[in-house]
Amino acid sequence: MSLQRDARALLDGVRSALTTVRTALFSPRRFFGASPYGDSLAVGIGVVLFVAIALTVGILTLGVVFDATIDATVTVDNPDRPDDVICEGLGADADSPMYEACQEPAQVERDLGSMLREATSGFLHYGFLGVGLWWVLGAGVIHIGARVAGGAGGETGTIGDSLTVAAWALLPELLRLVVGIAAIYYAIENATIQAASPEAFRDELLAALAGIETPLLVVSVVTIVWQWWILRGGIAERHDVSTLAAGTVAGVFAVIALLVAA
């Protein structure tokens, strides 16, 4: 009975969390006006961390996509061999500590997909930095815009309110993330990439991705409009301004986001 009770409590908690998220995404005015989570900066920070972690996982997934879909090799300088200048000076002497390393070939063949996966992992920190900076930027636009529009101060309309509203508006980014990775996988999987040279690979990759530019742009627009919808509701409720004023402030953020996406 205890196990069943714990399982039931867990399911109830999951349902409650999903209901909260659904309300924030589709009924933002009701969420920010009535839900205690819409007034909690701590929960907002949790949302930001969740999106940042999701983006970091997405970057890792993108590397896996490259590794799984690109079946080509490329000739690169051997990282295990010293520079030619060193080998010319020390590599010819069998007693030199550089002798063995200089016997390695100057260039080696490497799997291009694996190389791209390794390169992608070097951008993992952008998952947190990018989301964090975008969150702070959004909160700044909201706060300044709401004050200019005559928003209330005091218990509502604080910088904490702006940060909380901006945090929940990050959730639609997950749509763009999932669709973007799926589209890149589809484009590369259905392309012919031979990578005869670095320049040829670049041209082949750009050609493959050109076919998904329009769908990705459409998803970006949908994501930004969705964010505008959440911001408008949050600004109206937490900053006590009219729907028109809230929509205008949210629109400034949407224009910035569109310019970045373009």
Q: What is the pLDDT of residue 43?
A: 95
Q: What is the pLDDT of residue 16?
A: 82
Q: What is the pLDDT of residue 196?
A: 74
- The structural domains of the chain, with segments of one domain joined by +, span 30-75+110-261
Of 160, 133, 134, nearest in space to 146 by CA? 160
How far apart CA 228 and CA 86 sit, in angstroms, is 59
Question: What would the pLDDT profile of 28-39 be if each residue is shown by its tens digit?
Answer: 999 999 998 999
Q: What is the pLDDT of residue 154?
A: 56
Its pTM stands at 0.86
Dihedral over alpha carbons 44, 49, 52, 54 (to 10 degrees): -100
For residue 205, is pLDDT > 90?
A: no
Question: What would the pLDDT profile of 61-119 be if each residue is shown by its tens digit?
Answer: 999 998 888 888 877 788 878 787 777 766 566 767 777 777 788 888 888 888 888 88
Q: What is the pLDDT of residue 6?
A: 60
8 Å CB contact between 181 and 193? no
Mean pLDDT on 144-154: 78
Mean pLDDT on 219-240: 95
Question: What would the pLDDT profile of 157-176 be if each residue is shown by its tens digit?
Answer: 899 999 999 999 999 999 99
Q: What is the pLDDT of residue 10?
A: 66
Q: Average per-residue pLDDT in the chain? A: 87
